[in-house]
Every structure is written in structure tokens, then in C-alpha cells.
Structure 1
């Protein structure tokens, strides 16, 4: 059996749906199904059953799951040892990231990394911080860029930057015409475009709960670019990180600062240097150094240079 088969099985076991798992692995759903069928053929038994509610592990799948995790960890550790001997980073690196980071920061970093390390193939997946954290802990992700805090004590987190959350509003919106920052509590009754679970959405929900109102949701999506386009077309307003609002004038929406508004801290997370392949270490170093060298067009406060194990 192959690492691709094991990754496919572990990702489906984690996500519970083939479509979500396929996106996380950068595969088509048919490609993921072939990996699973091949693994089941190797083992001579069914590991998963599709139901209307998603993919469910069979009894054999439940028994095989911890062995698959240990097997993948052992294979990755062996690969890392060989890469240390060769001294040349190569192979696949799985990087999980927040939606906004994947859309608005990594396009400034990954192409340059690919030029410097042509034998390394990054595999990018986007998701919410809790799912990314679990992916790192279970070994389906080598690295993840997510918002703090990290809840698991067995992971290492290196803070990259801190930034404010601001309002993205349609061009010429009444809040823009005010010409001054507003408090989040003053705008909770606007129509909102949100990503469920995103830091901005959590801040909005907390403010609405404190004021005893229900947020008016014009649209829920799982795509950062969809938020931007919907705001540009006047569907509603959105609470987004300053990173997403870089070059907002050319993107077609206005930004409104918040008075004492919420902030988010973003960190690079992994299981420890001993678990990283040479390729993963190269990508980790490149991301940290690239962010440190960037100007601060969105008002970000850059993090430190060394990782710390979360407690």
C-alpha cells in the first residue's frame, strides 16, 4: 500500500465526507475513490460505507484506523531520514491554511518557493482552524497556518502576525460616507456575508448575543473570494481581516475601521521539528522569512522567529 492510499483513508475518516476530503487532499472525488478502492483491494475488506449522512467507517475501518496513522507516521519519518541524508528537499508537503491566507497571502509566497525548490510539491488545502489543527495532530497535514489559540498541547505554534478585523462594505455604502471608524455594536443589524466559524463571524455572533439580536445573514459561504465578490455587488457587509482588504480600492469595495474592534493572531503550526521532512522544513522556513521580509501594508504586527510548544 502507498502513502497516498493511507492519506486518503485518514482524510475521509477525519472529514466524514468524500467531497470535503477530496478538496483537502487536492484530488478529484473520483481520484479519491480510486485510492480508497485500491486500499480496500489490498486489504481484502471494506473500510468505509457511504450513507446519506456521509462516509462511515466499518468495524474493519475502525480497527484499521490507528494502524494506518502509525504506518503513515513511520513512512514519513523514514522519508525524512532519507531526505536528511541527501540534503535536498524534495517530495510533497501538505500545507493547510485559513481561507483568507490561502487567497490573499500565499499567492505572494508559493510561486517564489517553487522557483527556489523545484523538487518540492506543495499540496494546499483550506479550512477552519479547528480542522486544520486536527489535521496537523493526526499527520494528514505537515504544516498549517491558522488563527490562535491552538488547543492541543502537543503542537508547536510560531506566531506569524497579528491584525485587526475591519468592515468590508460595498463601494459608496452609508458607513463609508460617515468618514470615521464605527463600533461593531453600531452595525450588527446590517446584512452580513459570512464564512461560518471564521474569526470575524465569531466576533459578530458574540456581539449580537451580547445585544440580544440575531444577525441578518445574507449569505453563508466557505470561500473568501465569494465574500469579496458578494460585498462588491452590494449583497451585504463582511467582517474580514486586514490582510483581505489589501489593495481594496482596486478590488471594488470600501473598508471601514472598527473602534476597539476584534483582532486575530495567525501562527504556523506543526508537530515538532522531528516530524518534518526536509521539504516541510524548507517550506516552513521560507514562509516565516517571507512574511518577516514583507512590508506591512495591512497594519500587521509580525511575530517572533522561533516556534513554541503550545501549553
Structure 2
């Protein structure tokens, strides 16, 4: 049994004549007859009887007609709902981000997005690069914002921006007083606040190794916000994304630029492919890309 058979039956029941029903359905009369015969064979009963005055429903046809109509109405409603899902931005969209992006970029961006799309509910979560990629690949997230390069080759990445890493130092630190960009070699003897595995940590470790020194790690953190706060308390220095240092004047730390050629990060928006995105996810993706194109972080 299929929808074409149900449509053929309902149309003939409505019109009473096969020729009229066939014309309205855009099929040939023999083709319509075959659809009806296939439906009757599937059900094991006669639904229609042809008479000189037209097609007449049998008792079985009368009983089956309301069910056929409800089935077609339910299918049409389901199709319309899916169509709205793929064309009208509404419902939930799951976005995962690195903490630095979630804390320092998304609040204002999401507020502006909600002004444009009040029927979309952004569901935000934070995680490591590997966690976020895995959740997008598995369908738990629609989108994620992570640093390049990508670990997986089955995902689509669109670069959003590139930024330098800068040194965050306690207020009044000696490096601030130099009033110039510094080389990482000038930092290797400082107590360090690090997040293991991050690009900034690797850069500091490499600088120490080049000088034959072991990094003086004062504190290890698992999140960027905590790292910044440790610097504010004077526990050491840290390499931060430029995004996190924009408001340093109102915080308890100073920012020192790193010499040209220092560590950088590239940030990208990642998803499984356009065909997997709902209208809400596409709207958020486009809004993020367009907003950052107009105003870089």
C-alpha cells in the first residue's frame, strides 16, 4: 500500500468517475485503475464497483474511506512540519564552543541573534576541541566553534577569524615595563599558568626547551577563564587568545604583545554539511559568519 493508491481511491470516491479523478490527479485512466486494483489486492476486498452512473463505493469502501483520508491528512501534516523545519528558522539548535569563545564572544552575538530569530532556542555547551568535533560528527551538536586544524576529515570547517596569542601578566609586571613586544625566550624563567595540551602551552614548552630549561609551571588549569584569574592573582604569566585580553584594562592583569612570528590561532565554525542543518542551524551559522565578517573579534 502506498500514498498514490490511497490518493487514487479518495479522489475516485470524491468524484465518482475514474476519468475525472484521473485527470485531476494527472495520471492516465488505465494507470489509475491499476492503482485501485493494487490497493484492493493488498486489502483483499473490493472497494469500488463500476456502474453506468460511475464508480460506487462498496460497504468495505465506505468503511475504509475515512481511514484513508486520515492517513493522507496525517502524512500531509507531517510533510508540512518537516518543510517548516527545513525552511523556517524555529526550534532548538545545538552549538558547542571552546570556553574562551563561549565566555568572551557568544553572549553579545547570541543576544543579537535572538533579536532576529526569537523562535530559535540556542542550546550552548562547552568542551575541548576533541569532544566538540566528536559530538558534531555524532549528531549531538549541529555546530561547533573550535581552533584549526581539524582532527576529523568528515566535517566541514569555515574559518571565522585568526588572532595572535598574547601574554597575560600580573598588573605592574616587569614585562609590562619593557613597553615593547617580547620574545617567548624572555618568558621561559617566569612561573607559568597553563592548560595542558593547548597551543599556548606548547609554544611556551618549546621556548623553554630551546633554552634547555624545564618549564616553571605554577598552576595547571582546565579552563581559560580560571587561567586568566590565576594571572590576576599574581600566580604567573599565561599565553591567552587575543579575544580574552580585549577588556584587560578593566581586569587585574596587563597584556604584553609577543614578537612578530609568535603563536596564533585560527578559529572555525564546524558542521557535518549543509544537508544536515535545520533551518535554525543554518540561520545561526549564517548569522555568526556574517556578524564576524563585519566585526572581527
Matched with 2:291 is 290
Q: Counterparts of 1:193-272 in structure 2 under 5 Å?
A: 193-259=193-259, 260-272=261-273
Matched with 2:115 is 115
Structure 1 runs of 4+ off > 6 angstroms? 78-81
Pairwise CA RMSD = 2.1
For the 8 Å contact 1:142–1:270, the answer to whether it is kept is yes
Distance 1:170 1:80, change over 3 A: farther
After TM superposition, give the deviation of residue 122 of structure 1 in Å.
1.2
Matched with 1:25 is none
Matched with 1:165 is 165
Matched with 2:48 is none
Once residues 79 and 164 of structure 2 are traced to their aligned partners in structure 1, the CA distance between those partners, rounded to angstroms, is 40
Instruction: Give me the TM-score of the superposition, normalised by structure 2.
Output: 0.69
Q: Size of the alignment, in residue pairs?
A: 219
Q: Which has the larger radius of gyration?
A: 2
Instruction: Give me the TM-score of the superposition, normalised by structure 1.
Output: 0.66
Unaligned stretches of 5+ residues in structure 2: 1-77
Distance 1:178 1:91, change over 3 A: same
After TM superposition, give the deviation of residue 213 of structure 1 in Å.
2.6
Q: Please tell me whether residue 102 in structure 1 is matched to residue 102 in structure 2.
A: yes
For the 8 Å contact 1:128–1:198, the answer to whether it is kept is no
Once residues 286 and 265 of structure 1 are traced to their aligned partners in structure 2, the CA distance between those partners, rounded to angstroms, is 19
Matched with 1:126 is 126
Distance 1:291 1:86, change over 3 A: closer
For the 8 Å contact 2:85–2:279, the answer to whether it is kept is no
Once residues 134 and 218 of structure 2 are traced to their aligned partners in structure 1, the CA distance between those partners, rounded to angstroms, is 30
Once residues 128 and 197 of structure 1 are traced to their aligned partners in structure 2, the CA distance between those partners, rounded to angstroms, is 10
Q: Secondary structure at the match of 1:179?
A: coil
Q: Please tell me whether residue 145 in structure 1 is matched to residue 145 in structure 2.
A: yes
